[in-house]
Amino acid sequence: MAAWPPTMPAAELLRAWLQALAHERRLSPHTVRAYRHTGQTFLAHLRQVLGEEPEARHLAGLTAADVRGYLAARRMRGLGNRGVARALSALRSFARFLGRRSGLQMSAVLRIEAPRLPRAVPRPLAADDARALAETAGHAPIPWIAARDTAVLLLLYGAGLRIAEALALDGGVWPLAQTLRVRGKGGRMRTVAILPVVAQAVARYVDLCPFAPQRGAPLFRGAKGGPLSADVVRRAVRQARVRLGLPETATPHALRHSFASHLLARGADLRAIQELLGHARLSSTQIYTEVDARHLLDVHRSTHPRG
């Protein structure tokens, strides 16, 4: 374990951490961007407080008051409890990375307690709404783009993929088999089942797409043939939910939630759902039991005779 010199710029340590997140831990680009933003705002805050560029020695000498000062500054700019918790989680990841790689201890970061948050329960869509969202989002004026958007969203709802996982699929997976190997968070591999309706939607996209699927290139292409951006898919979903009158919680990720919730409602085993979703811990999957219980209570309240 080689120690970094005390005068090494903190910006270089930040770059090393972000590279490890992307290439070693294989976190999603969205997560890496969020962590980069936290790291950059943290160093900018230190630069303002110190009056000079922060270095490794400054990170090692941080106090709890320094960290709280940064979080307080973020709150003044409108960051709520959930955002503060995410920022603190990113800083803890940075601190643990520095400790593992060089023994540089940012112990003050690890001592700060995150704000208490109500447990977020996923908001799945009704089965009919989930299918309608996927189909309505695929209404682009160019037929192959419309087919592409529908295929991507059906992979989320029909196979439980994260949007980043669907967009990372390589052209070499075509033609699809009855199962598909997917690389998820942390580089973990899992096998998902491909339903006929999903396979048909992908086949229609491939048939219309002007860019033939090939190994080493993304299966889902942008309008000019490059990798498809998640923002493009999210925009199509936003437009579709407005047309359908669905709430703002009807997002691409809500389709994955719907996949899990609907499986549970049909009696699927929780461990099996955990495997299909690629959750590292069963506790992440158990939240769907709360969704199912909440749905039953809603049905009870709306249908039970009140005398």
Examine the domain organization and report whether 27 and 67 are in the same domain. Answer: yes
Whether the per-residue pLDDT at 301 is higher than 70: the answer is no
pLDDT digits over 34-78, tens only?
899 999 999 999 999 989 999 989 988 888 888 898 888 988 888
Our answer to whether residue 30 is catalytic in this structure is: no
pLDDT digits over 233-292, tens only?
999 989 888 888 888 888 888 888 888 777 776 666 666 666 666 665 655 555 555 544
Between β-strands 179-183 and 189-193, what pairing exists: parallel, antiparallel or unpaired? antiparallel
CATH of the domain at 194: 1.10.443.10
Instruction: Give me the pLDDT at residue 120, please.
Output: 55
Examine the domain organization and report whether 145 and 203 are in the same domain. Answer: yes
Residue of 25, 92, 185, 295 with catalytic role: 185
pLDDT digits over 158-214, tens only?
888 888 889 999 999 999 888 888 887 777 888 888 889 999 999 999 999 999 999
Asked whether residue 196 is assigned to any structural domain, the reply reads: yes
- CA 162 remoteness from chain centre: 7
Q: Total structural domains in the chain?
A: 2
Our answer to whether residue 148 is catalytic in this structure is: no
Examine the domain organization and report whether 155 and 272 are in the same domain. Answer: yes
- The pTM of the whole model exceeds 0.85: no
Instruction: Please give the residue range of the domain that contains residue 94.
Output: 10-111
Examine the domain organization and report whether 105 and 194 are in the same domain. Answer: no
Our answer to whether residue 224 is catalytic in this structure is: no
**Token code pair at residue 305:** 């005779």
3-state helix, strand, coil in the chain (%, to 5): 65, 5, 30
Whether the per-residue pLDDT at 298 is higher than 80: the answer is no
Residue, of 249 and 226, whose pLDDT is higher: 226
Residue of 74, 162, 190, 262 with catalytic role: 162
Our answer to whether residue 304 is catalytic in this structure is: no
Instruction: Give me the pLDDT at residue 278, please.
Output: 61
Name the domain boundary from 111, 139, 171.
111
Buried b (16+ CB within 10 A) or exposed e, 161-187: bbbbbbbbbebebbebeeebebbbbee
